[in-house]
Amino acid sequence: MTDSHGFGGMTQPEILDQDIRALQEWLRAAWQQLADPSLTAFGRRELRNQMKQYNADLRAHLKRAAELQPRLSTEPERSFAKPEMRIFAWR
């Protein structure tokens, strides 16, 4: 028996994780396809436009996943803290 949403009992974070992985895989394959010298100028332009859209979708999914994750730290966030900076000198 499956649930009424058709996700096979997957939770929202699992579905989100699956979507993120699929978007990452698509973008990886698109970068490889973009390197193909036989791709026409029109094909490159269309692929880059699709990559921009998929990248925006990936960012939105990652933002949503970050919002769903509980805070790992129990320490309260400090609003005014000394920045940890290191300055390196080249000689």
CB neighbours (10 Å) of residue 86? Answer: 4
Backbone CA torsion sign across 44, 46, 49, 54: negative
Question: What is the mean predicted confidence (pLDDT) over 63-78?
Answer: 71
pTM, two decimals, is 0.64
1 compared with 51, residue with greater pLDDT: 51
Each residue of 18-68: pLDDT tens digit? 999 999 999 999 999 999 999 999 999 999 999 999 999 999 999 999 888
Residue 5 structure tokens: 């949403």
Give the separation between CA 15 and CA 70, rounded to whole angstroms: 17
Q: Are 54 and 30 in contact (CB under 8 A)?
A: yes
pLDDT value of position 91: 63
